[in-house]
Structure 1
Amino acid sequence: MKFINSKIYLVLAFTFLAFAPIKAQEIIKETETDTVKPVTVKPTGRIKVDGIVAVVGDYVVLDSDIDLMYRELQAQNVPVKDVKRCELLGKLMEDKLYAHQAIQDSIIVTDAEVNETMSKQIDYFVEQIGSEEKMVSYFKKRDMESFKTELFEMIKTQKLTEQMQKKIIDEVTITPEEVRIFFAKFKGEEIPVFGAEMEVAQIVIKPEISQEAKQRVIDRLNEIKNDVQQNGASFYSKAVLYSEDPGSRSNGGYYKMTRKTPFVKEFKDVAFSLDEGEISEPVETEFGYHLIYVEKIRGQELDVRHILMKPKVSNEALNKAKERIIQIRQRIQNGEISFAEAARSESDEKETRNSGGLLLNPRTLETRFELTKLPPEIYSDVVDLKEDEISPALLNDDERTGKSWKIMTVINRYDEHTADYALDYTKIKDLALKEKQIQAIAKWSNEKIEETYVKVSPEYRECNFANNWVK
């Protein structure tokens, strides 16, 4: 399936651009004049009359949806000179088709999930625009409440879209023979070129936390637990006020989880041992101490809330950790021990210790990072390192795990090169799978468009859509 272009599609898909009203589940009856043709904005400042420009199943697309997409693209500094209204309308209609079919397939998106995303999105907008008042004004809404109502519906539609797309592509697999055929079709200059890559390793030393600091956190969490159980205080409010988990604090510590959810073992073990409505004792993990409250049990799925608190690190402990990382660095430079051996025996980072300190690329689950896609905090630490050079001691202040000291090195560098089937099989397989997934989505879209009620207003029927919206 053809998209506008990769940059615009990503902006549209991941920054939630269409902030006009979305009337979920609203059936639009067809009449002879079922759209209101937008009136051109006059120099006097009169507001253009909003009209329905498309209907997809139970969903409508308004002319103002397209206007707001343009406004958000401009706010993101994306060039809009060559972006046509037809292209944006086509993207909006694709989203509505996914959402409509997701409901037919009984895909469920809970209000809690939507509220969590909405809270983060509003925080982002406020940070970018300056204040809630400016945000509401920027998106031309009456007040904060109406903005939240519309944003809620838009995010719910987006999540339904994502779940439907995931359901389609999860069923797509690829065989080695299909990968071979995919690669064989490229000849000469058509063969893919992979950018420069590197493998990076690190050794992390965490400062030792005193028993007194730990006990202070345990006592505070027990006070909160007693206040909830004895005095009827709100766990949600306590999480908003006191939790140090940036991912859930603003939403009252909420997470939906199953046994396959990638949480640390200690957290999952306790959560699944609790009854509905029960609050745990303080639970220690590598992130700090947690109070875990099981709000709802649905078979093997839990709705939980938690409060995370981290013991405070003293300056003395931080200085001792720095001295230790400097000593490890000196031993490596003196040839007493290799970087990988030091990582296995000395590093306090469990995720990389057994691999000799090698970082795993979370996007590809391989050890190679494309140079242009390295996380900024890693790029600045390693970009100027020469062969076998070790960085100086670096203070790492992670919002999740707290302060620590680390040293880094580049294990291997790979220059930009034309794809080699044997050496780059995994990357070629990924490309082949993505192409097959796109073909599966295109086939699904064509079939669903044929069986779904679709209507496009007259002024957009001449658009050269990627999909057959005008039947």
Structure 2
Amino acid sequence: MLLNKINSKLIIKATLLVGFISFNFTNAQEIISDEVVEVEQTKDTLVNKTRIKADGVAAVVGDFIILESDLDREIAQLKAQGADLKDVTRCELFGSLLESKLYAHQAIQDSVIVNELYIKSRTEQQIQGILAQTKGDMQGLLDFYKKDSEQALRDEMYEINKNGYLAQEMRTKVTGDIEVTPEEVRTFFNDIPVDERPIFGTELKLAQIVIIPEVTEESKQAVIDKLKGFKKDVEENGSSFTTKVLFYTEDSASKSTGGKYTLNRNQPRMVKEFRDVAFSMEEGEISEPFETDFGYHIILLEKIRGQEYDVRHILIRPDLTQEAIQKAKDEIDEVRAKIADGTLTFAEAAREFSDEKETKYEGGQMTNPVTQDFNFELTRIEPELYAQIQDLKDGEISEVLQDEDRVNRIKFKILTVTDRIDDHEADFAKDYLKIKELALQDKQVDAIAKWQKKTIAETYVKVNGVYKDCDFQSNWLKK
């Protein structure tokens, strides 16, 4: 029963959270005319035909308005993101919208500080992400969202992201300091009936050895000389820095905006080397070429606005020679052969030969980026990684795989499964960390429920239309 309580609430919260992290434009604070049309809608389904307002006000929470269309657009976005809404009713989703607005409203009342830089960056990433999917059709995007200009679209997206950010910050404020003691974890586990204890899926521990082709000094110098040539052409001949970005930069994230980023001294974002160079420059200055893990850069500092620096940059990565690529391939083939014939264990080979610092000193053991432990639940492994290890038996070494990442355009690796834990009923000793997380979630749910009860009572809330018949978990109708 405890697990059911946690899961039913967290499913809705997790589902709704997708709206903030995806390319979502719902919940705009705009009231559209009350044209009457026939739609199929009830509180839980879309079957019963009733005459309702096409886009009237469905609810008001504090200073926020939820329109009739918001929920339908929210559902469409969630489905597009792959969310499973089979067992989630419209009333539950509408309740989550109300909750999100309550968080945002209270965050404003509590003067929660808004990270303007993050929201601006988030908005720009969303626009560029959608344009990448629509082959740059900005006019089509404006038509779809019924906006007259790019600025109007950006303004609306900014407000939506700001409200989502406020809601998330308020959630963190409510639950951020909550912790569970070992005794609370034990009590939580013991209170779960034996026949209701969760089943944890198959988990793997994975290790890898990575060999990265070495960049020659000649390739590095060629890039430095090219960037120095760009700098000279702009400074002495008046060439456009932005045009050179569009033609030459290898930073795909900023290419469409002319290489532009906004940095803030108080909010680290870019890598340290990039920030150090930018914050040492004067307006209008172009830096000398400098190196980061991503390659070589030059920066043009366009504007300083208090703590914010508007910069443009060009990124170029040195070319890899065929000799360097073949050398790396030969090296990892040799490493694999030594492991296969028993000359070295996988862990020994990783410590001696791997170029991946994050795993090298752990004997190649990979860390799950979500749980921060060594266990990967089989059904939740990223598809690309799953494809690489799905046929591996315990202790078997994969064939040499060619891969890439944000830093390295080519790398070679081998993988192995170091341990496998099959599906099993929760065991307090073996699964302590997972049980601790469930106990923490349970405690957070209780804290949120208490906070909501108090805050709803103190906040103006009005629910209209079919949603008055919903059986909300929280007292939104103030009965």
Structure 2: distance between partners of 1:140 and 1:48: 19
Query: SS of 1:421's equivalent?
Result: coil
Give the corresponding residue for 1:384.
Answer: 391
Give the corresponding residue for 2:196.
Answer: 190
Residues 12 and 93 of structure 2 are in contact (CA less than 8 Å); yes or no, is this contact kept in structure 1? Answer: no
Alignment counterpart, residue 213 of structure 1, candidates 186, 208, 219: 219
CA pair 16-397 structure 1, distance change in 2 beyond 3 A:
closer
Residues 254 and 303 of structure 1 are in contact (CA less than 8 Å); yes or no, is this contact kept in structure 2? Answer: yes
Residues 36 and 52 of structure 1 are in contact (CA less than 8 Å); yes or no, is this contact kept in structure 2? Answer: no
For residue 113 of structure 1, report the CA deviation from its aligned partner: 2.3
Alignment counterpart, residue 177 of structure 2, candidates 149, 171, 180: 171
Query: SS of 1:202's equivalent?
Result: strand
For residue 36 of structure 1, report the CA deviation from its aligned partner: 7.9
CA pair 236-103 structure 1, distance change in 2 beyond 3 A:
farther
Alignment counterpart, residue 455 of structure 1, candidates 454, 462, 468: 462
Query: SS of 2:318's equivalent?
Result: coil
CA pair 10-144 structure 1, distance change in 2 beyond 3 A:
same
Structure 2: distance between partners of 1:208 and 1:163: 43
Show structure 1 runs of 5+ residues with no match. 29-34
Give the corresponding residue for 2:206.
Answer: 200
Equivalence map 1:221-300=2 (5 Å): 221-224=227-230, 242-247=248-253, 252-254=259-261, 266-267=273-274, 270=276, 274=280, 281-291=288-298
Residues 18 and 65 of structure 1 are in contact (CA less than 8 Å); yes or no, is this contact kept in structure 2? Answer: no
CA pair 36-141 structure 1, distance change in 2 beyond 3 A:
closer
Show structure 2 runs of 5+ residues with no match. 1-5, 41-50
Give yes or no for the alignment of 1:468 onto 2:475.
yes
TM-score, normalised with respect to structure 1 = 0.83
Q: RMSD of the alignment, in Å?
A: 3.6
Per-residue CA deviations over 1:184-207 (Å, capped at 9, x if unaligned) read 111312222211111111111111
Task: Choose 235-244 or 213-222, whichever is displaced more.
Answer: 235-244
Equivalence map 1:66-81=2 (5 Å): 66-76=71-81
Give yes or no for the alignment of 1:58 onto 2:63.
yes
Structure 2: distance between partners of 1:156 and 1:237: 32
Give yes or no for the alignment of 1:407 onto 2:414.
yes
Give the corresponding residue for 1:31.
Answer: none
CA pair 226-91 structure 1, distance change in 2 beyond 3 A:
farther
Structure 2: distance between partners of 1:462 and 1:38: 23
Query: SS of 1:435's equivalent?
Result: helix
Per-residue CA deviations over 1:57-91 (Å, capped at 9, x if unaligned) read 11111112123223334544656677544333322
Give yes or no for the alignment of 1:367 onto 2:364.
no
For residue 430 of structure 1, report the CA deviation from its aligned partner: 1.4
For residue 396 of structure 1, report the CA deviation from its aligned partner: 0.6
Give yes or no for the alignment of 1:95 onto 2:100.
yes
Give yes or no for the alignment of 1:330 onto 2:327.
no
Residues 263 and 269 of structure 2 are in contact (CA less than 8 Å); yes or no, is this contact kept in structure 1? Answer: no
For residue 54 of structure 1, report the CA deviation from its aligned partner: 1.3
Give the corresponding residue for 2:401.
Answer: 394
Residues 264 and 285 of structure 1 are in contact (CA less than 8 Å); yes or no, is this contact kept in structure 2? Answer: yes
Q: Match for 2:447: what amino acid?
A: A
CA pair 200-91 structure 1, distance change in 2 beyond 3 A:
same
Alignment counterpart, residue 437 of structure 1, candidates 437, 441, 444: 444
CA pair 243-380 structure 1, distance change in 2 beyond 3 A:
same
Query: SS of 1:455's equivalent?
Result: strand
Residues 294 and 406 of structure 2 are in contact (CA less than 8 Å); yes or no, is this contact kept in structure 1? Answer: no
Give the corresponding residue for 2:163.
Answer: 157
Q: Match for 2:167: what amino acid?
A: T
For residue 292 of structure 1, report the CA deviation from its aligned partner: 5.6
Alignment counterpart, residue 109 of structure 2, candidates 82, 87, 104: 104
Structure 1: distance between partners of 2:85 and 2:74: 10
Per-residue CA deviations over 1:68-124 (Å, capped at 9, x if unaligned) read 223334544656677544333322221111111222222233444223222332344
Structure 2: distance between partners of 1:259 and 1:344: 37
Give the corresponding residue for 1:21.
Answer: 28
For residue 215 of structure 1, report the CA deviation from its aligned partner: 1.7
Structure 2: distance between partners of 1:228 and 1:171: 52
CA pair 82-285 structure 1, distance change in 2 beyond 3 A:
closer
Q: Match for 1:186: what amino acid?
A: I
CA pair 307-447 structure 1, distance change in 2 beyond 3 A:
farther
Query: SS of 2:342's equivalent?
Result: coil
Residues 402 and 413 of structure 2 are in contact (CA less than 8 Å); yes or no, is this contact kept in structure 1? Answer: yes
Structure 2: distance between partners of 1:174 and 1:231: 64
Q: Match for 2:92: what amino acid?
A: E
Give the corresponding residue for 2:38.
Answer: 41
Query: SS of 1:207's equivalent?
Result: coil
Structure 2: distance between partners of 1:324 and 1:235: 41
Residues 260 and 310 of structure 2 are in contact (CA less than 8 Å); yes or no, is this contact kept in structure 1? Answer: no
Q: Percent identity?
A: 45
CA pair 442-306 structure 1, distance change in 2 beyond 3 A:
farther
Alignment counterpart, residue 120 of structure 1, candidates 125, 131, 134: 125
For residue 12 of structure 1, report the CA deviation from its aligned partner: 3.5
Give the corresponding residue for 1:32.
Answer: none
CA pair 310-332 structure 1, distance change in 2 beyond 3 A:
same
For residue 237 of structure 1, report the CA deviation from its aligned partner: 7.6
Structure 2: distance between partners of 1:168 and 1:73: 25
CA pair 393-428 structure 1, distance change in 2 beyond 3 A:
same
Residues 116 and 248 of structure 1 are in contact (CA less than 8 Å); yes or no, is this contact kept in structure 2? Answer: no
Residues 278 and 299 of structure 2 are in contact (CA less than 8 Å); yes or no, is this contact kept in structure 1? Answer: no
Per-residue CA deviations over 1:137-184 (Å, capped at 9, x if unaligned) read 554556655443322221221122122222222221221121111111
Q: Match for 2:162: what amino acid?
A: K
Paired residues, what number? 457
